[in-house]
Structures are given as C-alpha cells and as structure tokens.
Chain A
C-alpha cells in the first residue's frame, strides 16, 4: 500500500498538473482569437480590413473564418511549432518593422511568400480543415471550377495524393496580392506551378 504522504503528494501533483496545463492551454487559446490578432494595429489596419471584403469574412450562410482558422494549425504539435515561430513576430512588433502602411506594403511580398510556402509545404492543411476535395459537390460549382477540381476530387476518392494543393491557385483570396507576386512565385522553386499540358 502507498503511504499517506505519497498519496498527498500525488493528489497535489494531479491538481497542480491540471491547473498548470489548463492555464497554459487557456492562455494559448487566448492568443488564438481574432480579437487578439487585431489588437495590434498592424493587423487591424491592413490585413483585417482586406479580409472584410472577402467571402471568408461574410457570405450567404454566415460562416466566417477568423485569422487562426487559416494561420494557426489545429493539431497540437504543429500549433506549438507555429506559436514558437510567432515569437519572431513579437520581436518585429517591438522593432516596428511594419508599423506604418508603407512599411507593411514594403514587406507584403516577403510575408505573403512565407505564408504561401508554409501552406504549400503542408499541402494546404489549414484550408482542408474546411475544404476537402472529397466533400466537394462539383455539380454545384461553376463549370470552370468543377472542370479544374475534378481530377483532384477523383484522386482523393481513389486514395491518391492530389497533384495540386489549394494554395497553388487560390492566392490572394483573403488579403490583397502584393505587387510583383506572379514573378516572385514563378521564380521560387517550391511555389512554382507547372503549366498543365495543353489539350
């Protein structure tokens, strides 16, 4: 049998553990809200204003994607990794790297490229939290869109890896595209999209 002190220590440990972990998670989730993101004017005045004009902010049925839905992974390991990377953002906040609209514009291409690379390398994981090829109803899509999604839908239904990922085509859907993005994307080995063979 366990002695009385051991039981006590165990109990205290469990309580502290729950409180500590809960507190940590709670704080983490606090930093994972739209209101936290736009509490910095850099986000509120630039990207948040642009988001409001898009379908990810307002649509027919009232479903909205907020900042972390696209920019922070849902799975724990990836989330923590992204959150640690975000400490770099704190540094630049202190340095005022993008604290005016002009400075933001100067850095927009750099920041957008980094985000596109992140999405491309994770096979647009955050897009797919909501959008999946296998749940697409191609009949309800525009014929143009349906034609293009069709092969990938079949790939996924067949259990194959689709050849293209969301961000390959859907850039600048939630924020303004930076100047010169097309040239920059074509010059980047990771982001470059091979042209489809002509029929």
Chain B
C-alpha cells in the first residue's frame, strides 16, 4: 500500500512538472515564444507566371499563375468565370475548368459547373514569391 501511494505521488509530481518545463523550452515553428504573436511578413505581390505553374503531383489543383486581388467570389457572382467558364474560355484564351468540375456528387454530368466547385480558391491558390516560413522538404512527384 505504501509503495502504491508513493508511486501515485511521484506520478503526480511528474505530471505537474512537465507542463511547467515544457512551456519554457518549446518555441513555435516560426521561432518565437509561444505566447508571442508571429512576426509580420513582408508584403509580396501575387506572382504572374506565363504559361502557368507546373503541378507537383498528378491530381494537384493547378495553382493560379496570376493575381486574383480584383476577383470576387460571392453568392451572386464569381468573377473567375468571366474567363474560365465553359462559355468564355475560348474567347478569353484561358484554361477551362477541369472536367471533374462538371460532375455532381453522384457522378452525373452537368451542363454548368457543379455548385460544389464554386469556390475556386478553396483549392486553387495564387502564389507569392516569398521564402517559406518553415523549412519544407517536400519534393514533387517527378
């Protein structure tokens, strides 16, 4: 019984001491203390890349090779479709939405873009020519 109580006490002491020491040593991945706010990052322009940005793996949603600052996606309108919709892509010489964007959840083909795909920048992102905040060793599949 005595041994049991002793073990419990030691365990309790250890449990109490861990968070205290831990919070003193752990830094955020970006190199500042946990209770500090992150350093602000220098502003960069959204990149323009002629001919588009190559994909890093097969099913990657292509990244946006132009600025989208002026574009708006709201309940009423989606200005990306001014160029990329099935109606306008030829006239605007822009890439058309991928075929997968015309399927509903049951795999049925639709005439217009599926509403599941309406929010372009949920998957497609513009790029900034900035240094990565955190080291990244990811290598594309090529």
A and B are interacting partners: yes
Min CB–CB distance A108 → chain B (angstroms)? 8
Q: Tell me the bound Cα distance from A91 to B79 in angstroms.
A: 33
Q: Which of B50, B74, B79 contacts A143 (CB 8 A)?
A: B50
Instruction: Compute the total of residue contacts between A and B using a CB distance below 8 Å.
Output: 25
Is A102 among interface residues, defined by CB-CB distance under 8 A?
no
Is A49 among interface residues, defined by CB-CB distance under 8 A?
no
A176 touching B70, Cβ below 8 Å: no
Is B32 among interface residues, defined by CB-CB distance under 8 A?
no
Interface range, A side = 10 to 19
Q: Which of B50, B77, B91 contacts A172 (CB 8 A)?
A: B77
Is B109 among interface residues, defined by CB-CB distance under 8 A?
no
A176 touching B48, Cβ below 8 Å: no
B50 touching A177, Cβ below 8 Å: no
Tell me which residues across on chain B come within 8 A of A9, comparing CB atoms.
none
Q: Which of A173, A177, A182, A198 contacts B90 (CB 8 A)?
A: A198
A178 touching B90, Cβ below 8 Å: no
Q: Mark A54-68, 1 if CB is under 8 A from B, else 0.
A: 110000000000000
Is A196 among interface residues, defined by CB-CB distance under 8 A?
yes
Q: Tell me the bound Cα distance from A196 to B50 in angstroms.
A: 23
B76 touching A176, Cβ below 8 Å: yes
Is A181 among interface residues, defined by CB-CB distance under 8 A?
yes
Tell me which residues across on chain B come within 8 A of A172, comparing CB atoms.
77, 79
Is A142 among interface residues, defined by CB-CB distance under 8 A?
yes
Is A187 among interface residues, defined by CB-CB distance under 8 A?
no
Tell me which residues across on chain B come within 8 A of A173, comparing CB atoms.
70
Most buried by A among B50, B74, B77, B87: B77
Sample of 5 further A-B pairs with CB below 8 A, known A176-B76, A176-B77: A105-B76, A143-B50, A172-B77, A173-B70, A176-B72
Can you identify 18 A-B contacts, CB atoms within 8 angstroms? Answer: A54-B70, A55-B70, A105-B76, A143-B50, A172-B77, A176-B72, A176-B74, A176-B76, A176-B77, A177-B76, A177-B77, A177-B79, A178-B76, A178-B77, A179-B77, A181-B77, A196-B91, A198-B90
